[in-house]
Structure 1
Amino acid sequence: MSFKGEQHPGVQAPTPDSQGFRLNHTMLRIKDPEKALAFYTRVFGMQVMRRLDFDEMGFSLYFLAKLDENEQVPEEQGERTVWTFRQRGLLELTHNWGTETQADFAYHDGNAEPQGFGHICFSVPDLEAAEAWFDANEVEFVKRSDQGKMKDVVFVKDVDGYWIEVVQADRLSALGD
């Protein structure tokens, strides 16, 4: 691999100390696991790789992945836990027990003021087909691919109001400067 990354002010060369580090997952807090799991497994085709419960602290973690057909996942729980924490691009949904019964409970989506967290992103093979799928599943759109200044980029919301960017990679070669 010859490409060493773009260079910008603040970028520093990695040291051997970070050799082997990889981004494993990002975490979103969810109000109701049944609704959130239905959304991510049905609409985005993800699978739950591992659920970890923490009784003493009152929360559960759900690790989801979008696997290729030929990927081998260990059946045994301990081995699958290790396998899960070695992956790239997982989504961790964290459920603090009891939030699902609180009618007015909601997490900050990061896009309302004050802004912070923005979104997660899925790449799809066919953006129009994805938009039709979202419509068929009554997914809430923030922005469709033909709207706004950035064409060919879709934003939808999950059941907790988090934004999800959806792109078709081969349409983005001219994006940005």
Structure 2
Amino acid sequence: MSIAEDQVPGVEPATAESQGFVFNHTMLRAKDPKVSLAFYTRVFGMRLLRKLDFPEMQFTLYFLGHAEAGEVPEDDAERTAYTFSQKGVLELTHNWGSENDPELSYHDGNAEPQGFGHICFAVPDLAAAERWFDANDVEFKKRANEGKMPNVVFVKDPDGYWIEVVQPALSAGLGD
């Protein structure tokens, strides 16, 4: 069944003024950047596109994406412009010293009060991804064969944020 956008309440046509707008990134806080960077670069194959330090405010931003090898410019200004021109970027924000606070944990958005829910990665082979996550001791919230939504996996990142993992071809039958 195709979606007739004009039949879905609240959907309005894009305006000429919004042409060229592109969703660039989502920000998650990272308690320990070494742990989070290792997780997203090793487990999910992302690359560090840009690192921006803000000493006066004591935080660092790490921008991660799936750039091809050699694609990211070396020059800082060009690299920054490149980073903000990409689609599907993950920004990890590290507030300096948070890694030393044993009491600190971030709200994942799924506990009460609910808000933010998850980010999502598409993978070419969901079963292989599950085996990869197991081999890397990734915490599962839901495996592909569990729950009411088959072929959808949820794992957690080092800060407890949920990550949905799907194989696009297996998602064809979801919903109405």
Structure 1 length-normalised TM: 0.95
Hey, what does 1:51 align to over in structure 2? 51
Match of 2:24 in 1: 24
3-state SS in 1 of match to 2:119: strand
Shift of 1:122: 0.3
Superposition deviation, residue 15 in structure 1: 1.1
Shift of 1:67: 2.4
Map residues 39-118 of structure 1 onto 2, 5 A cutoff. Answer: 39-69=39-69, 72-118=71-117
Q: SS of 1:104's equivalent? A: coil
Contiguous gaps of at least 5 residues in structure 1: none
**CA drift at 1:13:** 1.1
Q: Deviations over 1:3-48 (max 9, x none)?
A: 9973310111111111111100000011010010011011101110
Cα distance in 1 for partners of 2:171, 2:118 equals: 18
Q: Unaligned regions of 5+ residues in structure 2, if any? A: none
RMSD: 1.5
Q: What percentage of residue pairs aligned between the two structures are identical?
A: 64
* TM-score normalised to structure 2 length: 0.95
Residues in 2 aligned to 1:18 and 1:29: alpha-carbon distance in whole angstroms: 29
The match for 1:13 is 13
Q: Which residue of 2 aligns with 1:146?
A: 145
Label 1:30 to 1:19 Cα distance change in 2 as closer, same or farther (>3 A): same
Cα distance in 1 for residues equivalent to 2:68 and 2:153? 23
| Secondary structure of residue in 1 paired with 2:106 | coil
Inter-partner Cα distance in structure 2 for 1:44 and 1:173: 23
Q: Which structure 1 residue ranges, 4+ long, deviate > 4 Å from structure 2?
A: none
